[in-house]
A = this chain, B = another copy of it.
Amino acid sequence: MDQVKQTPAKAISILRHAEKLFAHKGFEATSVREIAHAAKVNVAMISYYFGSKEKLLEKLFEKRMTSGLEFVQQIMESPELNEWQKMTVILRNYVNNIFHAQNFYLVMLSTQVTTKNKRILALLRRTRLNYIELFDLFALLGVEKRLFKYRPDPYLLQSTIIGSLYYALQMKPVFKDHSKNHQSLAEFDEEYFNKLFEYLKNILATLLGYEDN
């Protein structure tokens, strides 16, 4: 009987539908009544489970952003991988996260510029700086081992990798339409993010001066 009290099904449904609506309409433009209607629950249930609309957004960020950290930690402690392998595995994981939670990353894109929420801002800041310091450490160690030739500016490196990913995500519909692609959305997505990953791996290799065997 001592099971951890898990999130009720309705709360999960609210979160999922809120994420979708926030992604396509924005946080402020989405009303709690819309969320409630989409999730087929009474409006009061949002306050009941989350306290407020704002805290619902916090919950969404916390749920989506804490999961990636354990993976990175795990990779960090893998002695059988060299710095290049660690970097590419983490990048692959990041691309996969975006691929599987595209709506959340759209929420992130529109929210991070304008939100005043301290918890969300702190969470974003910490996560981003973590990745920056991590990749800089890999670059440093890799250069020491003569695996890499250069140690690029960590801020610029992050801007390129993450910036390319986010921009590619938000422009996906435009690109798909313009390239006259007639695949199904699922097929297109798969190919799109795979291509993106391979491309970013190449840029990373170039910036680090990593020579592929």
* Chain A positions near chain B (C-beta within 8 angstroms): 23-26, 28-29, 106, 109-114, 116, 125, 128-129, 132, 153, 155-156, 158-160, 162-168, 170-171, 174-175, 178-179, 195-196, 199, 203, 206
Contact = CB atoms under 8 A, between A and B. Distances in A.
Contacts of A164: 156, 159-160, 163-164
- Interface class of chain A by DSSP: helix
Contacts of A128: 171, 174
Nearest to A162: B167
A56 to B, nearest CB: 16
Each complex incorporates copies of this chain amounting to 2
Instruction: Identify the interface centre among A114, A125, A156, A179: most chain B CB within 10 Å of its CB.
Output: A114
Contacts of A24: 114
B170 A155 contact: no
13 contacts: A23-B113, A25-B116, A29-B114, A109-B113, A110-B110, A112-B170, A113-B170, A129-B174, A156-B168, A159-B165, A159-B168, A203-B203, A206-B206
A169 to B, nearest CB: 9
Contact of A156 (B111, B116, B156, B199): B199
Contacts of A163: 160, 163-168
Nearest to A179: B155
Given A28-B29, A175-B155, A203 B160 contact: yes
